[in-house]
Amino acid sequence: MDLGIAGKRALVCASSKGLGRGCAEALAAAGVELVMNARGAEALESAAADIRAAYGVPVMAVAADITDETGRQRVLDTVGTVDILVTNAGGPPPGMWTDWDRDDFMMALDANMLTPIALMKALVPGMMDRGWGRVVNITSQSVKAPIAVLGLSNSARAGLTGYVAGTSRQVAPHGVTINNLLPGIHATDRADALDKGVAEGEGISLEEAQARRAATIPARRYGTPAEFGATCAFLCSQHAGFIVGQNILLDGGAVNTVL
Ligand code: NAP
Protein backbone atom coordinates (compact mmCIF):
# COMPACT_ATOMS: atom_id res chain seq x y z
CA MET A 1 0.00 0.00 0.00
CA ASP A 2 1.28 3.47 -0.88
CA LEU A 3 1.09 5.41 2.38
CA GLY A 4 1.11 8.70 0.49
CA ILE A 5 3.76 10.32 2.69
CA ALA A 6 6.89 10.10 0.52
CA GLY A 7 8.82 13.36 0.84
CA LYS A 8 7.34 14.24 4.24
CA ARG A 9 9.72 14.95 7.11
CA ALA A 10 9.60 13.20 10.51
CA LEU A 11 11.23 13.48 13.91
CA VAL A 12 11.41 10.05 15.54
CA CYS A 13 12.60 10.32 19.14
CA ALA A 14 14.54 7.60 20.96
CA SER A 15 15.02 5.68 17.74
CA SER A 16 18.46 4.05 17.64
CA LYS A 17 16.96 0.76 18.88
CA GLY A 18 13.75 -1.03 19.69
CA LEU A 19 10.29 0.34 18.92
CA GLY A 20 11.52 3.82 17.95
CA ARG A 21 13.85 2.30 15.39
CA GLY A 22 11.02 0.14 14.07
CA CYS A 23 9.00 3.33 13.50
CA ALA A 24 11.96 5.10 11.86
CA GLU A 25 12.52 2.17 9.48
CA ALA A 26 8.87 1.92 8.47
CA LEU A 27 8.62 5.66 7.82
CA ALA A 28 11.86 5.58 5.80
CA ALA A 29 10.46 2.67 3.78
CA ALA A 30 7.49 4.94 2.96
CA GLY A 31 9.92 7.58 1.62
CA VAL A 32 9.87 9.87 4.66
CA GLU A 33 12.94 12.01 5.43
CA LEU A 34 14.06 11.42 9.02
CA VAL A 35 15.55 13.14 12.01
CA MET A 36 16.51 10.37 14.45
CA ASN A 37 17.47 10.80 18.09
CA ALA A 38 18.95 8.85 20.99
CA ARG A 39 21.49 9.59 23.73
CA GLY A 40 24.24 7.20 22.61
CA ALA A 41 25.88 8.69 19.51
CA GLU A 42 27.53 5.48 18.25
CA ALA A 43 24.40 3.32 18.04
CA LEU A 44 22.43 6.29 16.69
CA GLU A 45 24.90 7.05 13.88
CA SER A 46 25.04 3.37 13.00
CA ALA A 47 21.22 3.08 12.86
CA ALA A 48 21.00 6.27 10.75
CA ALA A 49 23.63 4.93 8.33
CA ASP A 50 21.79 1.58 8.00
CA ILE A 51 18.49 3.34 7.25
CA ARG A 52 20.06 5.75 4.75
CA ALA A 53 21.64 2.80 2.94
CA ALA A 54 18.52 0.63 3.02
CA TYR A 55 15.89 3.19 1.99
CA GLY A 56 17.78 6.03 0.26
CA VAL A 57 16.09 8.80 2.27
CA PRO A 58 17.91 11.70 3.96
CA VAL A 59 18.49 10.90 7.66
CA MET A 60 19.87 13.32 10.25
CA ALA A 61 20.94 12.07 13.68
CA VAL A 62 20.92 14.19 16.83
CA ALA A 63 22.49 12.58 19.90
CA ALA A 64 20.73 14.11 22.92
CA ASP A 65 18.65 13.21 25.94
CA ILE A 66 15.16 14.05 24.73
CA THR A 67 13.87 14.23 28.32
CA ASP A 68 16.33 16.98 29.25
CA GLU A 69 15.35 20.56 28.34
CA THR A 70 18.74 21.44 26.83
CA GLY A 71 18.98 18.20 24.86
CA ARG A 72 15.43 18.55 23.62
CA GLN A 73 16.06 22.14 22.49
CA ARG A 74 19.09 20.95 20.53
CA VAL A 75 16.92 18.40 18.76
CA LEU A 76 14.25 21.02 18.04
CA ASP A 77 16.83 23.52 16.74
CA THR A 78 18.13 20.89 14.32
CA VAL A 79 14.71 19.70 13.24
CA GLY A 80 13.19 23.00 12.15
CA THR A 81 9.76 21.99 10.88
CA VAL A 82 8.35 18.48 10.55
CA ASP A 83 5.16 16.92 9.24
CA ILE A 84 5.36 13.85 11.48
CA LEU A 85 6.36 13.52 15.14
CA VAL A 86 6.90 10.19 16.91
CA THR A 87 7.52 10.70 20.61
CA ASN A 88 9.35 8.07 22.62
CA ALA A 89 11.83 7.73 25.51
CA GLY A 90 13.02 5.00 27.83
CA GLY A 91 10.50 3.68 30.34
CA PRO A 92 10.84 4.18 34.12
CA PRO A 93 12.25 1.33 36.27
CA PRO A 94 9.97 -1.21 37.96
CA GLY A 95 9.54 -1.32 41.74
CA MET A 96 7.12 -1.33 44.67
CA TRP A 97 4.69 1.50 45.38
CA THR A 98 6.62 2.24 48.58
CA ASP A 99 9.91 2.74 46.69
CA TRP A 100 9.15 6.02 44.94
CA ASP A 101 9.50 9.56 46.20
CA ARG A 102 8.77 12.92 44.57
CA ASP A 103 12.04 12.93 42.58
CA ASP A 104 11.27 9.51 41.07
CA PHE A 105 7.82 10.70 40.02
CA MET A 106 9.20 13.93 38.56
CA MET A 107 11.72 11.95 36.47
CA ALA A 108 8.99 9.64 35.17
CA LEU A 109 6.63 12.54 34.46
CA ASP A 110 9.41 14.42 32.65
CA ALA A 111 10.32 11.43 30.48
CA ASN A 112 6.93 9.95 29.66
CA MET A 113 4.47 12.84 29.97
CA LEU A 114 6.03 16.32 29.93
CA THR A 115 8.58 15.57 27.18
CA PRO A 116 5.99 14.44 24.61
CA ILE A 117 3.82 17.41 25.61
CA ALA A 118 6.75 19.83 25.12
CA LEU A 119 7.52 18.29 21.72
CA MET A 120 3.90 18.58 20.62
CA LYS A 121 3.73 22.19 21.81
CA ALA A 122 6.86 22.98 19.80
CA LEU A 123 5.99 21.17 16.55
CA VAL A 124 2.20 20.93 16.23
CA PRO A 125 1.60 24.68 15.63
CA GLY A 126 3.69 24.48 12.42
CA MET A 127 1.72 21.40 11.31
CA MET A 128 -1.53 23.30 11.96
CA ASP A 129 -0.32 26.29 9.94
CA ARG A 130 0.46 23.97 7.02
CA GLY A 131 -2.86 22.12 7.42
CA TRP A 132 -1.38 18.62 7.78
CA GLY A 133 0.40 16.71 10.52
CA ARG A 134 0.67 13.40 12.32
CA VAL A 135 1.74 12.72 15.90
CA VAL A 136 2.17 9.23 17.32
CA ASN A 137 3.11 8.85 20.98
CA ILE A 138 4.61 5.52 22.02
CA THR A 139 3.03 4.80 25.41
CA SER A 140 2.24 1.36 26.84
CA GLN A 141 -0.36 -1.35 27.26
CA SER A 142 -0.20 -0.34 30.92
CA VAL A 143 -2.47 2.61 30.03
CA LYS A 144 -5.35 0.13 29.56
CA ALA A 145 -4.18 -2.57 31.96
CA PRO A 146 -1.81 -1.16 34.58
CA ILE A 147 1.20 -3.35 35.41
CA ALA A 148 1.66 -3.33 39.19
CA VAL A 149 5.46 -3.10 39.27
CA LEU A 150 5.45 -0.26 36.71
CA GLY A 151 3.68 2.29 38.92
CA LEU A 152 5.85 5.18 37.72
CA SER A 153 5.07 4.34 34.10
CA ASN A 154 1.35 3.77 34.84
CA SER A 155 1.13 7.23 36.42
CA ALA A 156 3.06 9.24 33.82
CA ARG A 157 1.45 7.58 30.82
CA ALA A 158 -2.04 8.05 32.24
CA GLY A 159 -1.27 11.79 32.40
CA LEU A 160 -0.14 11.89 28.76
CA THR A 161 -3.21 9.91 27.69
CA GLY A 162 -5.49 12.46 29.33
CA TYR A 163 -3.64 15.34 27.66
CA VAL A 164 -3.87 13.72 24.21
CA ALA A 165 -7.59 12.99 24.64
CA GLY A 166 -8.37 16.72 24.76
CA THR A 167 -5.58 18.12 22.61
CA SER A 168 -6.18 15.75 19.69
CA ARG A 169 -9.74 17.10 19.39
CA GLN A 170 -8.47 20.69 19.45
CA VAL A 171 -5.93 20.23 16.64
CA ALA A 172 -7.98 17.88 14.41
CA PRO A 173 -9.80 20.75 12.65
CA HIS A 174 -6.40 21.81 11.28
CA GLY A 175 -5.59 18.49 9.62
CA VAL A 176 -3.37 17.26 12.46
CA THR A 177 -4.00 13.90 14.10
CA ILE A 178 -2.57 12.79 17.45
CA ASN A 179 -2.82 9.14 18.50
CA ASN A 180 -1.10 6.88 21.00
CA LEU A 181 0.35 3.46 20.20
CA LEU A 182 0.29 1.11 23.19
CA PRO A 183 2.89 -1.67 23.00
CA GLY A 184 2.40 -4.90 24.84
CA ILE A 185 5.53 -6.99 25.16
CA HIS A 186 7.91 -6.61 22.19
CA ALA A 187 11.31 -8.19 21.65
CA THR A 188 13.60 -5.25 22.47
CA ASP A 189 16.36 -4.41 24.98
CA ARG A 190 13.70 -3.01 27.31
CA ALA A 191 11.84 -6.35 27.33
CA ASP A 192 15.15 -8.14 27.95
CA ALA A 193 15.83 -5.92 30.96
CA LEU A 194 12.35 -6.59 32.41
CA ASP A 195 12.70 -10.34 31.79
CA LYS A 196 16.16 -10.42 33.40
CA GLY A 197 14.61 -8.79 36.49
CA VAL A 198 11.94 -11.51 36.61
CA ALA A 199 14.55 -14.26 36.05
CA GLU A 200 16.73 -12.98 38.89
CA GLY A 201 13.75 -12.46 41.22
CA GLU A 202 12.40 -15.97 40.64
CA GLY A 203 15.70 -17.82 40.25
CA ILE A 204 14.94 -19.01 36.71
CA SER A 205 16.75 -18.61 33.39
CA LEU A 206 16.06 -15.68 31.04
CA GLU A 207 14.66 -18.15 28.48
CA GLU A 208 12.27 -19.58 31.06
CA ALA A 209 11.11 -16.06 32.04
CA GLN A 210 10.51 -15.24 28.35
CA ALA A 211 8.67 -18.52 27.73
CA ARG A 212 6.43 -17.96 30.75
CA ARG A 213 5.59 -14.44 29.59
CA ALA A 214 4.91 -15.56 26.01
CA ALA A 215 2.56 -18.25 27.31
CA THR A 216 0.33 -15.53 28.85
CA ILE A 217 -0.17 -13.85 25.45
CA PRO A 218 -2.89 -15.21 23.13
CA ALA A 219 -0.49 -14.79 20.15
CA ARG A 220 2.05 -16.89 22.17
CA ARG A 221 4.96 -14.70 21.16
CA TYR A 222 6.50 -11.25 21.60
CA GLY A 223 5.78 -8.49 19.06
CA THR A 224 8.51 -7.25 16.75
CA PRO A 225 9.74 -3.68 16.23
CA ALA A 226 8.99 -4.11 12.50
CA GLU A 227 5.29 -4.80 12.99
CA PHE A 228 5.07 -2.01 15.57
CA GLY A 229 6.75 0.36 13.09
CA ALA A 230 4.37 -0.64 10.30
CA THR A 231 1.37 0.34 12.44
CA CYS A 232 3.04 3.63 13.33
CA ALA A 233 3.69 4.39 9.65
CA PHE A 234 0.05 3.62 8.83
CA LEU A 235 -1.10 6.06 11.55
CA CYS A 236 1.19 8.65 9.93
CA SER A 237 -0.17 7.92 6.45
CA GLN A 238 -2.65 9.82 4.28
CA HIS A 239 -5.13 7.00 4.92
CA ALA A 240 -5.28 7.60 8.69
CA GLY A 241 -6.57 11.18 8.70
CA PHE A 242 -9.87 10.17 10.34
CA ILE A 243 -8.17 8.37 13.27
CA VAL A 244 -8.09 10.95 16.06
CA GLY A 245 -7.22 10.65 19.74
CA GLN A 246 -7.13 6.85 19.78
CA ASN A 247 -5.18 4.51 22.06
CA ILE A 248 -4.25 1.57 19.89
CA LEU A 249 -3.05 -1.62 21.55
CA LEU A 250 -0.42 -3.79 19.88
CA ASP A 251 -0.25 -6.63 22.36
CA GLY A 252 -1.03 -9.97 20.72
CA GLY A 253 -4.34 -10.02 22.58
CA ALA A 254 -2.78 -9.77 26.06
CA VAL A 255 -5.21 -7.15 27.39
CA ASN A 256 -8.52 -8.97 27.67
CA THR A 257 -11.00 -6.16 27.02
CA VAL A 258 -13.60 -5.45 24.37
CA LEU A 259 -13.31 -1.65 24.21
P1 NAP B 1 14.68 -0.01 24.05
O2 NAP B 1 14.77 -1.21 23.18
O3 NAP B 1 15.40 0.00 25.35
O4 NAP B 1 15.13 1.25 23.16
C5 NAP B 1 15.07 2.51 23.70
C6 NAP B 1 15.57 3.52 22.67
O7 NAP B 1 15.34 4.81 23.19
C8 NAP B 1 17.07 3.43 22.42
O9 NAP B 1 17.33 3.86 21.10
C10 NAP B 1 17.63 4.43 23.43
O11 NAP B 1 18.92 4.87 23.04
C12 NAP B 1 16.56 5.53 23.32
N13 NAP B 1 16.41 6.36 24.51
C14 NAP B 1 16.13 5.93 25.77
N15 NAP B 1 16.04 6.99 26.59
C16 NAP B 1 16.25 8.09 25.84
C17 NAP B 1 16.30 9.48 26.12
N18 NAP B 1 16.11 9.93 27.37
N19 NAP B 1 16.54 10.35 25.11
C20 NAP B 1 16.75 9.90 23.85
N21 NAP B 1 16.71 8.60 23.52
C22 NAP B 1 16.48 7.71 24.51
O23 NAP B 1 13.15 0.32 24.45
P24 NAP B 1 11.81 -0.11 23.70
O25 NAP B 1 11.45 -1.49 24.10
O26 NAP B 1 11.91 0.24 22.29
O27 NAP B 1 10.75 0.82 24.46
C28 NAP B 1 10.38 2.09 23.98
C29 NAP B 1 9.28 2.64 24.89
O30 NAP B 1 8.17 1.75 24.83
C31 NAP B 1 9.70 2.73 26.37
O32 NAP B 1 9.12 3.88 26.94
C33 NAP B 1 9.09 1.49 26.97
O34 NAP B 1 8.82 1.63 28.34
C35 NAP B 1 7.81 1.38 26.16
N36 NAP B 1 7.30 0.00 26.17
C37 NAP B 1 8.03 -1.02 25.66
C38 NAP B 1 7.52 -2.31 25.70
C39 NAP B 1 8.30 -3.48 25.16
O40 NAP B 1 7.88 -4.62 25.34
N41 NAP B 1 9.43 -3.30 24.50
C42 NAP B 1 6.25 -2.54 26.24
C43 NAP B 1 5.52 -1.47 26.75
C44 NAP B 1 6.06 -0.20 26.71
P45 NAP B 1 19.96 5.49 24.15
O46 NAP B 1 19.90 4.56 25.32
O47 NAP B 1 21.26 5.53 23.44
O48 NAP B 1 19.41 6.85 24.47
- 150-175 mean pLDDT: 97
80-112: per-residue pLDDT in tens? 999 999 999 999 999 999 999 999 999 999 999
Distance 131 CA to ligand 1 centre (A): 31
- 200-211 mean pLDDT: 96
Q: Which atom of ligand 1 is nearest to the CA of 66?
A: 19
Look at residue 18 and tell me whether its pLDDT is greater than 90: yes
47-64: per-residue pLDDT in tens? 999 999 999 999 999 999
pLDDT of residue 5: 98
Look at residue 42 and tell me whether its pLDDT is greater than 90: yes
Report the pocket of ligand 1 as residue ranges, CB < 6 Å. Answer: 14-20, 37-40, 43, 65-67, 88-91, 138, 140-141, 183, 185-186, 188-191
Mutate which of 21, 78, 88, 185 for ligand 1 pocket (most atoms within 8 A of beta carbon): 88
pLDDT of residue 54: 98
pLDDT band at 116 (very low <50, low <70, confident <90, very high): very high
On average, the pLDDT of the chain sits at: 97
pLDDT of residue 251: 98
Look at residue 258 and tell me whether its pLDDT is greater than 90: no
pLDDT of residue 101: 96
pLDDT of residue 259: 84
Distance 111 CA to ligand 1 centre (A): 11
Nearest CA to ligand 1 atom 15: 90
Mutate which of 11, 13, 25, 39 for ligand 1 pocket (most atoms within 8 A of beta carbon): 39
Nearest CA to ligand 1 atom 33: 91
Task: Report DSSP letters for the chain, one per residue.
Answer: ---S-TT-EEEESS-SSHHHHHHHHHHHHTT-EEEEEES-HHHHHHHHHHHHHHH---EEEEES-TTSHHHHHHHHHHH---SEEEE--PPPPP--GGG--HHHHHHHHIIIIIHHHHHHHHHHHHHHHHT-EEEEEE--GGGTS--GGGHHHHHHHHHHHHHHHHHHHHHGGGTEEEEEEEE-SBSSHHHHHHHHHHHHHHT--HHHHHHHHHHTSTTSS-B-HHHHHHHHHHHTSGGGTT--S-EEEESTT-S----
Q: pTM for the full model?
A: 0.97
